[in-house]
């Protein structure tokens, strides 16, 4: 029988919701503003109304439920957000149960990077494996770990904090209290900082895309920035490969178009630092679903929960 | 009904075998020499005869099978040792099937550090959790990762190579091709090397126990060696905690008595480098089963396989 679910990707500024069938076909999609400044009740209403709007579209098939990707740490069994920098007013309340009550339908909460990893595993670049790690390169670096087709959560939903792996023991300071975190050396933000340190461009506030365009144009300093970023990624990936021996490691996010500038240094570093990588067919690849990975991953959650029950 | 299994811990020089009941009680134990210089046939015979000798002891209960811990990478489903530094003549042959054939009983092969982690999870320091990481500090550093009560293997049995995590990007060179591997900064061997660099003692070839005794006697250089080792462990543990968010991380091996000398620097480093550690009740503790962890873990394998079938 045809079924569909609804996935929600809750960001700090935008909320996207999509109805998806069990083969991963997008049936309908809508967007709304998250407007965190309007507070808890407003945001919860936006979530519920977006889902109800999609359900009112006369979609074919049985409704399997809702998955919601949230930026933050989540106690999965309890359906509670423990910690969310952007949406702190959603912390420590029975968020899942409240949305379930208003909708009259089953809801699953998941961390947004975990949802993205699950989406890539379902219908993206990792559809051919059971185990993968996804690194999302953005303002920071998020991580999602999929093992036997399921998200690894850890005992408090804090697994996969891969942006805070130490890659340079005396490196750049991080708001987390550490120095040398991966995300301070390889995120989109790190790229622009490194470019400013290198005086790659006289213009203030370059974006990582600006740096990329300069690298394409042959600017050696811009290219050096991406090499430095690739080295940091390589140290982290070698560590992950030595730890997990998974077949696949995916990268996603804004800096991905600069792959040809950072990947050679990354692969060189991984090769040197991981005999597992050198001696096995371990793949390091681009993710495929782009910014929709989290939306699809969230939509997959109700289908996966059904399968796990059977 | 009472049951027993037989666990074998196959080392480079010694072979130990033990009959254990399903509550973890040791019923009988024997040792033999591995004598790798005598070759494959001799070693396989030693394994089989040790098991048969234990079975001949009129043990009570049904015999559940055999688990064998082997130093090396193992394809679990195939029962094949892919790579073993000390016992290379056991590589790439149907080792499990051959022992099964000679014994007429089911056999499971497992990596020795993985078996030790499983043993600690069964009846050791991690009996109260489902997820843990064990680091075994010896000549090198081995790792075992237990998730939901089961060993994480990776797709080629190479998961848990935690001794080769980079903790000092430009650190000490390692035979694996990397520099700054954890085991080059925190193993028992690393301790003696650091002590020689520090000229802790005028005597040649000090053991890690010698360095420990000097630290106890108040020698500041010896104490510094353990602080350095603790810092390296702390960097690796912070990474593991940020990655897994497991409740428990265990250390075992020769340097464990020096805990009070290395643990403060280790914990300081972990606290700084992992907000997950600082904000949760994550435990870093001594393993309990000592050199018998692998033996018990191997013995647990047949019991676990039975449970998984039901």
Summarised one tens digit per residue, pLDDT across range A52-106 is 999 999 888 999 999 999 999 999 999 999 998 888 999 999 999 999 999 999 9
- Taking all residues of chain A, what is their mean pLDDT, rounded to a whole number? 95
| Residues paired with residue B173 on neighbouring β-strands, in sequence order | B179
Q: Which CATH superfamily is domain B129-288 in?
A: ATPase, nucleotide binding domain (3.30.420.40)
Chain A interface mutation, best of B74, B155, B167, B234, highest count of A Cβ atoms under 10 Å: B155
In whole angstroms, what is the distance from residue A207 CA to residue A125 CA? Answer: 27
Handedness of CA B196, B200, B206, B209 (dihedral sign): negative
Catalytic status, residue A131: no
pLDDT score at A167: 98
Phi, psi of B31 (to 5 degrees): -125, 155
Residues A276-282: what's their mean pLDDT?
96
pLDDT for residue B13: 84
Secondary structure, 3-state, A31-72? EEECCHHHHHHHHHHHHHHHHHHHHCCCCCCEEEEEEEEECC
CB B70 within 8 A of CB B90: yes
What tokens appear for A111 in the block? Answer: 């961390």
Q: Which sign does the torsion angle of CA B213, B258, B164, A180 carry?
A: negative
Shortest CA gap B232–chain A (Å): 10
**CATH 3.30.420.40 residue window(s) in chain B:** 3-118+291-309, 129-288
Quick one: tokens of B128? 């109260």
Q: At residue A240, does pLDDT exceed 90?
A: yes
Residue A1 — pLDDT band, cuts 50, 70, 90? Answer: confident
pLDDT at A13 over 90: no
Average pLDDT over residues A121-139: 97
- Spatial neighbors of A45 by CB under 8 A, at least 6 apart, are none
pLDDT per residue, tens digit, chain B (310 aa), is 789 999 999 988 899 999 999 999 999 999 988 888 899 999 999 999 999 999 999 888 999 999 999 999 999 999 999 998 888 999 999 999 999 999 999 999 999 999 999 999 999 999 999 999 999 999 999 999 999 999 999 999 999 999 999 999 999 999 999 999 999 999 999 999 999 999 998 888 888 899 999 999 999 999 999 999 999 999 999 999 999 999 999 999 999 999 999 999 999 999 999 999 999 999 999 999 999 999 999 999 999 999 999 8
Topology of the domain covering A131-287? Nucleotidyltransferase; domain 5 (3.30.420)
Length of chain A: 310
Q: What is the pLDDT, as a whole number, of residue B289?
A: 98
Token readout for A167 is 């890659």
For position B310, what pLDDT does the model report? 83
For the domain spanning A3-118+291-309, the CATH number is 3.30.420.40
Which pLDDT score, from 0 to 100, does residue A297 have? 98
ipTM for the complex?
0.96
Residues paired with B284 in a beta bridge: B249
The residue from B112, B131, B219, B308 that is catalytic is: B112
Q: What is the pLDDT of residue B34?
A: 83
Chain B residues 177-196 with CB within 8 Å of chain A: 177-178
**Which segments of chain A belong to CATH 3.30.420.40?**
3-118+291-309, 131-287
Determine whether the interchain pair A147/B145 forms a contact, defined as Cβ–Cβ distance below 8 Å: no
- The pLDDT of residue A271 is 98
As a whole number of angstroms, the distance between CA A229 and CA A285 comes to 16
**Confidence (pLDDT) at B204:** 82
């Amino acid at each position: 029988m045809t079924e569909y679910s609804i996935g929600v990707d809750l960001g700090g500024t935008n909320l996207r919701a999509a109805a998806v069938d069990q083969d991963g076909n997008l049936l309908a999609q809508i967007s709304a503003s998250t407007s965190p400044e309007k507070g808890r009740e407003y945001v919860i209403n936006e979530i519920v109304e977006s889902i109800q709007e999609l359900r009112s579209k006369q979609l074919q098939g049985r409704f399997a439920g809702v998955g919601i990707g949230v930026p933050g740490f989540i106690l999965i069994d309890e359906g509670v957000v423990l910690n969310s920098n952007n949406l702190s007013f959603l912390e420590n309340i029975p968020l899942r149960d409240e949305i379930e009550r208003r909708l009259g339908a089953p809801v699953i909460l998941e961390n947004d990077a975990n949802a993205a990893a699950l989406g890539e595993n379902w219908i993206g670049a990792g559809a051919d494996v059971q185990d993968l790690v996804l690194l999302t390169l953005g303002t920071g670096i998020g991580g999602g770990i999929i093992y036997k087709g399921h998200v690894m959560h850890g005992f408090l939903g804090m697994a996969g904090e891969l942006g805070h792996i130490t890659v340079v023991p005396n490196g750049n300071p991080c708001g987390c209290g550490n120095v040398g975190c991966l995300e301070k050396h390889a995120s989109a933000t790190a790229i622009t900082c490194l470019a400013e340190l290198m005086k790659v461009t006289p213009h203030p506030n370059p974006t990582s895309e600006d740096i990329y365009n300069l690298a394409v144009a042959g600017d050696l300093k811009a290219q050096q920035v991406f090499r430095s970023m690739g080295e940091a990624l390589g140290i982290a990936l070698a560590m992950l490969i030595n730890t997990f021996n998974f077949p696949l490691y995916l990268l996603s996010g804004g800096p991905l178009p600069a792959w040809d500038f950072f990947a050679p240094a990354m692969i060189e570093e991984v090769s040197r630092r991981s005999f597992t990588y050198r001696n096995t067919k371990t793949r390091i690849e681009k993710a495929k679903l782009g910014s929709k990975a989290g939306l699809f991953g969230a939509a997959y959650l109700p289908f996966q929960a059904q399968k796990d029950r059977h």
